[in-house]
Structure 1
Amino acid sequence: MRRQKEVFVDFLSNFVSDFIGQLQSPTLGFLIGGMIIAALGSQLQIPDSIYKFIVFMLLIKVGLSGGIAIRKANLGEIFLPALFAVLLGILIVFIARYTLAQLPNIKTVDALATGGLFGAVSGSTLAAGLTALEAQGIEYEAWAAALYPFMDIPALVTAIVMASVYLSKRRNDKEEEFSKVEYVSKQAVAAGDYSSMEYPTTRQEYLSQQRGTPKRVEIWPIVKESLQGSALSALLLGLALGLFTQPESVYESFFNPLFRGLLSILMLIMGMEATARLSELRKVAQWYAVYAFIAPLVHGFIAFGFGMIAHALTGFSLGGVVILAVIACSSSDISGPPTLRAGIPSANPSAYVGSSTAIGTPVAIGIGIPLYIGLAQAIMGG
């Protein structure tokens, strides 16, 4: 019992220390700074072209490091964490469907889009998590960053497919309801005599003809669109270059030294965007704010549990477990929004982008990262 108390005290101490450290870190500091200056009405603007360049540089760096590590790694060690990443991406969307979508004033398609965005991965949050692990001296597999697409793509595909199925079912239900009304009208006109009319003789036959068949949901176009998104394209390009070329020299001399500086600028841009989205979030149900605060931490804890299973079975490092938890805790801020706008056009971006950018990302970076690092340190200390 005493030992358990000591472990809990160590965990709490580490969490508080890491939380304060995150508040003082450039990553969260620039994020909060961006939110403050935007709230004060600053006219500071970062050109969109610079933003896209920074995102490209960060993700290609992450991809390069992952590709280099995969080339040197045992593929058997990667399989289970990658499988868990896929399952987590799908599971997070289902969680949103059966929790957020059941709350008052929440539209199902908006909830599914939100689940897809929170199941997808934030490259900037991943980069912040890697930086925090390095600052704490916690070792992790370099290929762990390559788990990004294994969670990102399944989450987006699942959200879009579930929304398509839901909307198709609603469309069919409305057609059936219309068919019933039309059937009653025709029955009244024909006075119950269908034998001399060119209408079905039974209600079931009539409805089956009017209802039609639901539209088929095509999976490959969704996957293709996700893969062609700018964020995943950059990450996968980096992975391919790391796997099939020898980019170590340019990686060490160019990409790696620029990483933290570019990440800080990205956080500043995201902070300004978060303040703008916060005003939009007020226009939709307040439940999105509650979900955006609680869900990322829950997702991260589930991922941490999956990671510990991989740790026990394959020797997956505790640093790798933290990375899996961090990407599950994150919500996509680059590839996800445009993919969901195209895949679920009826969903309200103010709901899913606002909840992600204004609340989800600060929670993931400010609370999630130190929380999972503190938990890993408590387990290492135990």
Structure 2
Amino acid sequence: MDMISTIAATVVAQFQSPTLSFLIGGMVIAAMGSKLTVPQPVYAFIVMLLLLKVGLGAGMSMREADLVAMAIPAGLAALTGIAIVLLGGRTLTRWRGVSQTDGYATAGVFGAVSASTLAAGMATLDGRGISYEGFIGALYPFMDVAALITAIVVARMSAARMAAPAGGGVATLGGGGTRADDGVVKGILLDTFRSPAISALVLGLALGLLAKPESVYGSFYEPLFRGLLSVLMLTMGMEAWSRLAELRKVAHAYVLYGLTAPLIHGMIGFGAGLIAHQLTGFSQGGVVLLAVMAASSSDISGPPTMRAALPEANPSAYIGASTGLGTPVAILSIPIWIALSGLVMGT
């Protein structure tokens, strides 16, 4: 009975959170035929500010971390994000009706990290007296950026391959191409890094790491963050409703993925954490939080990045599966990783 109450409370809290409530609000007013719109230049400005804020915060965390001790966990976090995208994208695109772009956009959002879920994991560990490394927050950008870039690059390579003339051949990650077209691959990589979303994220990361932006971060970016995010989610909700009809034919694929992916991804992150534990003495709390990050799906950097870099992808797919289903499952799975870490690590 307690478990049912906990699940119900978590679901209600998720629907009441600003992220999901504004998203649902946007869908509702769009369904009612509202003419409310957010001008594209305003939307682009909001996305730039949000991604700069995420990058700045992550960069400042990295600057304060022990870079030597962080190196192996950071590398494993990046590999985890890449593995989640490749596994999730291949799984989703096997379903009839799921396009390559929609599949990899959804996998990219799931490979990226939810700051709120990570914060919930930290709070749970603090409440149980389980310690973890101070640089854990700095692992966020490694998994996040690696997953987003991988998803965008693979989706664009797939689109380029499909558009290529017969016998042309474009290289693919994981094989499947007839020959390596270095020019195409290089062009896609450059285009990805030059895209507005990734550029803002990487720029913020570099400034947070190399400059000292604490004053502008605390006085401008942090106070505006939640308000801007609510407008972003409202816009996403309106767009998601307008494209919902495209999703109905394959909704079961995204429902199944949204409910199961966090657990599978969490196991990947848990395994990466155990490797870091064996190599560097990574703590139990660190292993748990790496699993939590892997299980989470981005509600901040992921959706606007995908909308900007892959505008042809259906936001109903990647937002509905991640925010609507994946996030509650990821939060509910936190006790699983704590229990599993105690069992495996003997604490």
TM-score range, shorter chain: 0.7 to 0.9
SS of 1:231's equivalent?
helix
Matched with 2:171 is none
Preserved contact between residue 31 and residue 268 of structure 1 (Cα < 8 Å): yes
Matched with 2:221 is 255
Matched with 2:317 is 355
Question: Structure 2 CA distance, aligned partners of 1:88 and 1:330?
Answer: 19
Equivalent AA in structure 2 for residue 227 of structure 1: F
Matched with 1:323 is 293
**What is the deviation of 1:29?**
1.7
**What is the deviation of 1:117?**
0.9
**What is the deviation of 1:278?**
0.8
**What is the deviation of 1:289?**
3.9
- 1:158-307 equivalent positions in 2, closer than 5 A: 158-161=154-157, 164=160, 171-172=166-167, 216=181, 218-282=184-248, 284-290=249-255, 293-294=258-259, 296-298=261-263, 300-306=265-271
Deviation per CA, 1:111-156, whole angstroms, max 9, x where unpaired?
x323321232389973543565687686873313312112221233
Question: Structure 1 CA distance, aligned partners of 2:299 and 2:272?
Answer: 13
Equivalent AA in structure 1 for residue 323 of structure 2: T
**What is the deviation of 1:331?**
9.4
SS of 1:171's equivalent?
coil
Preserved contact between residue 119 and residue 156 of structure 1 (Cα < 8 Å): no
SS of 2:37's equivalent?
coil
Deviates more, 1:128-137 or 1:297-306: 128-137
Equivalent AA in structure 2 for residue 364 of structure 1: G
Question: Structure 1 CA distance, aligned partners of 2:72 and 2:188?
Answer: 25
Structure 1 residues 164 and 215, CA, compared in 2 at 3 Å: closer, same or farther?
Answer: farther
Unaligned runs of 5+ in 2: 127-131, 169-177
Q: Identity, % of aligned pairs?
A: 34
Structure 1 residues 253 and 312, CA, compared in 2 at 3 Å: closer, same or farther?
Answer: same
Matched with 2:274 is 309
1:35 aligns with 2:27: yes
Higher relative contact order (CA 8 A, sep 6+): 1
Structure 1 residues 265 and 375, CA, compared in 2 at 3 Å: closer, same or farther?
Answer: farther
Deviation per CA, 1:199-218, whole angstroms, max 9, x where unpaired?
xxxxxxxxxxxxxx857253
Unaligned runs of 5+ in 1: 1-8, 174-212, 342-348
Equivalent AA in structure 2 for residue 117 of structure 1: A
Aligned Cα root-mean-square deviation (Å): 3.9
Question: Structure 1 CA distance, aligned partners of 2:4 and 2:340?
Answer: 12
Structure 1 residues 242 and 363, CA, compared in 2 at 3 Å: closer, same or farther?
Answer: same
Matched with 1:95 is 87
Preserved contact between residue 64 and residue 241 of structure 1 (Cα < 8 Å): yes
Correspondence for 2:38 among 46, 57, 71: 46
**What is the deviation of 1:78?**
3.4
Question: Structure 2 CA distance, aligned partners of 1:308 and 1:11?
Answer: 27
Preserved contact between residue 127 and residue 263 of structure 1 (Cα < 8 Å): no
Question: Structure 1 CA distance, aligned partners of 2:78 and 2:262?
Answer: 18
- 1:135-146 equivalent positions in 2, closer than 5 A: 141-146=136-141
- 1:67-86 equivalent positions in 2, closer than 5 A: 67-86=59-78
1:149 aligns with 2:111: no
Structure 1 residues 18 and 31, CA, compared in 2 at 3 Å: closer, same or farther?
Answer: same
Rg comparison, structure with higher value: 1
Question: Structure 2 CA distance, aligned partners of 1:330 and 1:248?
Answer: 21
Matched with 1:20 is 12
Structure 1 residues 368 and 46, CA, compared in 2 at 3 Å: closer, same or farther?
Answer: farther
Equivalent AA in structure 1 for residue 79 of structure 2: L
Preserved contact between residue 110 and residue 322 of structure 2 (Cα < 8 Å): no
Matched with 2:129 is none
**What is the deviation of 1:254?**
1.8
**What is the deviation of 1:66?**
0.8
Alignment TM-score, normalising by the size of structure 2: 0.74
**What is the deviation of 1:273?**
1.9
Matched with 1:371 is 332
Question: Structure 1 CA distance, aligned partners of 2:80 and 2:43?
Answer: 29
Alignment TM-score, normalising by the size of structure 1: 0.68
The aligned length equals: 321
Structure 1 residues 122 and 288, CA, compared in 2 at 3 Å: closer, same or farther?
Answer: closer
Preserved contact between residue 58 and residue 263 of structure 1 (Cα < 8 Å): yes
Correspondence for 1:129 among 114, 117, 125: 117
Question: Structure 1 CA distance, aligned partners of 2:77 and 2:26?
Answer: 31
SS of 2:109's equivalent?
coil
SS of 1:121's equivalent?
helix
